[in-house]
Amino acid sequence: MRYYFGREARLRRAVETAAMSVFDGWGYEEIATPSVDYYALFERGMGHVEARRAFRFADTDGRLLALRPDITSSVARAAATLFASAPRPLRFCYAASVFRQLPHSRAEWRRQGRQLGCELIGAGRADADVEVLAIAAEVLERLGLGGSYRVTLNHVGVFNGVAEQLGLSPEAREEMRQLVDARDAGALGEFLKTLGRSAATAERAARLARLSAGRTIPEGTREILSNERSRAALDELEKLLSAVETLGLGESFSVDLSDVSGLGYYTGLVFKVYVEGAGARVGGGGRYDDLTANFGRREPAIGFVLDLDALTDILARRDFETRNGAGSPAAIEGDDVTERFKEARRRRARGERIKMD
């Protein structure tokens, strides 16, 4: 937990305002979700393991509550209940704080963070994926980060197709995912051999840990991924890359098939946002078509969030100027109280930043 003051607080407000103005420009309506809600909501939305990172407590009636660790779960419930009869697709955006219990580390130490995000619910075609990626790119460009950010793309079907082809148990599947994510091809090959897979099969699957590339699908990928599900996922990625290139965003997007962290939440496209100078990713998102089914209505959905704390840390070092009071306030001096306040009002009418002496 920490305090924000002065220039840092103004910078955070400016970044939030810039992002929300982009969301508004694409027709997304702001939604504000409760800071405290039933723990069961997040358990159903995030899954049991992730939800346990929430700060939990009981109310006077003994019901288990939680400080909001996630916003997407709340938005998904609202879509399935409050907006059940509203025309699709639904477009929501938000700027809200989340609260999570995290082990102390240099990369993630804040228990309270603030997320800027948007959710597109009820649209399952490829153009919905393109829309969300275009919005993310525009937010980063609006913040002056053009040329220094990178969005990496993947599809859960690539890894899931390989895991199904190998006939892995849920436990083995998770261990394989961690080894791929660590990009440890040697350990992955040995692990698959211990499961009784042939040396040739193990070596072939281990190459999945090396499938990161630039603006195209890594060379030789289709030879490695022979199953139908993985190849269908690659087809979707190639179409998406073509659309991104057409929009003139190709320089800022790349493919990373080895980045398989947190795939359990998603059902299709997944992407992560990195910015030069940040020690960790500053945002991410993807398609989560199964999430709303937890609240009674399954429908396609995609969204993303950006970490306000990470963004402002970067922009502060880059001396990002805000429109709202970027300069030092002018001192209003004088012995006559009336004249001082008249001068103050004249300057404020011109939009100047002042401070009464």
Q: Which residues pair with 313 in a beta bridge?
A: none
Q: 153-173 burial, b for 16+ CB within 10 Å, e for fewer?
A: bbbbbbbbbbbebbebeeebb
For the domain made up of 149-275, give the CATH fold. Answer: BirA Bifunctional Protein; domain 2 (3.30.930)
| Residue 322: predicted pLDDT | 46
Burial class (CB in 10 A: 0-12, 13-18, 19+), 82: exposed
For the chain, what are the domain ranges?
A: 1-148+302-326, 149-275, 332-357
| Residue 213: predicted pLDDT | 64
Does domain 1-148+302-326 match CATH 3.30.930.10? yes
Of the candidates 286, 288, 255, 252, the residue with the CA atom closest to the CA atom of residue 269? 286
Find out whether 345 and 36 touch, Cβ atoms under 8 Å: no
Collapsing DSSP states into helix, strand and coil, what is residue 23?
helix
Burial class (CB in 10 A: 0-12, 13-18, 19+), 49: exposed
Q: For residues 191 and 56, what is the distance between their CA atoms, to the nearest angstrom? A: 37
Can 1-148+302-326 and 149-275 be said to share one CATH topology? yes
| Residue 168: predicted pLDDT | 83
Q: For residues 100 and 53, what is the distance between their CA atoms, to the nearest angstrom? A: 5
| Residue 325: predicted pLDDT | 42
What is the mean pLDDT for each group of 10 consecutive residues in the chain (357 residues)? 86 95 97 96 86 93 95 94 95 96 65 94 92 97 94 91 85 84 82 78 74 74 84 93 92 88 81 91 93 89 96 83 60 91 93 88
- Return phi, psi of residue 209, to 5°: -70, -5
